[in-house]
Structure 1
Amino acid sequence: MTDFDPAQIKAARRDGTLKLLLRQQIAEGKARLGDTPAKDWPTSGRRRDVNGTTCPHCHAGPDQRCHVLSRDKTLPKPHQQRLAVWAQTVACCTTCQAAPGQRCHNDNLPLPPNTVHARRYQEAEETAA
């Protein structure tokens, strides 16, 4: 028994919601197998830990470790860019008062991409704990 519907896949590709559709299908499949209820499975792709974000440097997905781009070697710690994206999505910045999801700024000039104030990392660790 399969739930594959080509028309539904084509419509999701057109709408740009293909990833969401696939995550939901995975959640429903796990619920059918008795692994976890569908409502508890993360369908949004957002979690509070560092490994729940995609690394903008090496493009390692959620639950994958960062790796060196030129060869197949995983790193013991995530890239700095991944940590910055995680802190940006999880915590408010107490230095510039940027809300979660907004970039840090100095005097209304945004910081370079994938960089945040040092205090935001501490806030993210406290929020995630």
Structure 2
Amino acid sequence: MTQIGGQQTLKDVFHRLSYPERKQLSQDLKQIISQLRMVPNQTPYRFANTLDGALVDHRGGRRGPFNLLSDFNYHLFPERASDTTRNAFSAVHSRQHRSFFTHSDLYSTNIIICQGRLAGIVD
């Protein structure tokens, strides 16, 4: 990765973006995320990193890989989560969801802006 002058993270410049720039950023992010979701899964797992390995979760280390949505959902909670907490989310986790290739930590520090426009996504 190389750095090109004039680029800053979204975290650093969001407060300075005009409303039209924010709207354009939203449209650009939607387009890029849609493109990411079209990348085919090349792993034998439903939930894994791109090299067939564990997913890295900034909240709790490495988890997986997983084939079952239920296994993936179970590991979203800390081991010390109460049964009450787990039961509160059971309705959401009982629904079936499609899985997609995605950016695992899409934060404002990983979104690069240049002259008020999306310049890229890193990390």
Greater RCO, 1 or 2 (C-alpha within 8 Å, sep 6+):
2
Q: Which structure carries more strand by proportion?
A: 2
| Common fold: TM-score over 0.5 | no
How would you bin the TM-score normalised by the shorter chain?
under 0.3
